[in-house]
Amino acid sequence: MPVQDSKTHVALLVSPGMGHLIPFLELANRLVLHHNLQATLFVVGTDSSTAESNLLQKPSAANIVPLPHSSSTLDPNASYVDIINAMMTASFPFLRSSITTTMPRPAALIVDLFGTQALSIAHELGMLGFVFMTSTAWFLSLSFFYPSMSKSMIDAHVYNHEPLEIPGCTPVRFEDTIEIFQLNREEIYEGFGGFTRELGTADGILCNTWQDLEPITLKALTELGNLNKEKVNQVPIYPIGPLTRYSEPNLKSEVLKWLDRQPDESVIYVSFGSGGTLCAKQITELAWGLELSQQRFVWVIRPPAGTDPMGIFFTVGTGSEDDSAPEYLPEGFIKRTKEVGLVVPMWGPQAEILSHRSVRGFVTHCGWNSSLEGIVNGVAMVTWPLYAEQKMNAVVLTEELGVAVRVRAEGVVGREEIERKVRMIMEDEEGREIRERVKMLKITGEKAVSKGGSSYDSLARVASKCDIFRRRRDGGC
């Protein structure tokens, strides 16, 4: 006897980190509000991240379920990839038991790159399994082709610094490659390979990009191709971006009050994401660079954390906007810049800052979520990549899209370089052309996610696939 018809239910599993959590929340909300599905978001959180906790407490169209995991036995000196992998693996038994008791029974499970090993759970429980890549199509192409790359190809890249060739896509220069290749640790290769091998088992891959942003790479991904005589890209690709957090109307904030008092497009915003940190010497150089540029600025600053650019990835908090001036800034910096600058300890409302009329530029670590927030708000960028795939993102922003300039230096970036790049974005003719391009891209992103746009229709196909699968599975048609 056919079951009573109801909305199709989709489960989502997201790994730790604001860069994954924000687009997953937006995806879940869009599936509910625009595509008539139910959604449950299973979250593997960091426990100590108050920024994540605060975000999860905001109203959502999806049901939010925290997943327990055991992190007490993790090696604190392990790489972030190993730590996240261990947390995700520990959460899988709880995910399985939660899904089996969830009603109505989900038709699909959507995971991120760190959760691809849960695709087997989805298929075992009679569900579709999708992957949502929260980065560029270029990084997706690298991840997708990685399991088929020969050892000689990888060795030539890692040891001889030869470009990594990806069929149909821009080659990846070694100086811009993902962090695991530059760290050159065999166990990290194996971990990355474990995540990427499962991509070929997915029923579809969603990507936080859109057709007009990366047309060449998306074309290469969606056409059948070969690598080492093995067909590797027959999984459907669904560009559904830009999915990112938009500003909250009427948000009360001292930062926004300060921005209200500034002239239009006169401020550069400086932030290195939810987990990025700089060493003490680099903070000093950045402070001097901002001061020498003579530009108005808002700088979200965190304490120096040695040489680890991900020093607070698992512990980021929200801080307080009225905290006293950080003692690790150059002596007199706050006093000298008080008329033109605002230093915000730990955290600031980024979406609201970037959408403010007074903001013209953005110094960013190139996390893809931050990069998209810059684009969707029409803000030109200075790229300063720190870890993961952020150097690849910087290449996309500067060389392919032309919406940013990049700081260049070996080791610590000097104050003169910082001053030059800030002025370039805020004042120079080159900066004017960049600002015009990013505003044009903003329009294409808005069209893509609007009803009838390429990304809207792409996500609609995913929702329809889930709906048809659920009706057939449950005997509804």
| Residue 389, token pair as written in the block | 């795939």
Distances 293 to 312, 336, 434 between C-alpha atoms, Å: 28, 13, 18
User: How big is the chain, counted in residues?
Assistant: 477
| Residue 151, token pair as written in the block | 């050892």
38: nearest Cα among 64, 18, 15, 19: 64
CA distance 30 to 44: 21
Q: In what order do the strands lie in the sheet with 267-271?
A: 341-345, 296-301, 267-271, 359-364, 380-383, 404-406
SS3 341: strand
427: nearest Cα among 281, 324, 296: 296
Q: Which of 20, 35, 69, 157 is catalytic?
A: 20
Q: Which of 9, 35, 69, 112 is catalytic?
A: 112
257: nearest Cα among 358, 161, 325, 159: 358
CA distance 205 to 238: 6
| Residue 247, token pair as written in the block | 């500003």
Active site residue 428: no
Active site residue 112: yes
CA distance 448 to 87: 35
- Evaluate whether 344 touches 255 at the Cβ level (below 8 Å): yes
- Evaluate whether 298 touches 342 at the Cβ level (below 8 Å): yes
Catalytically active residues, by annotation: 20, 112
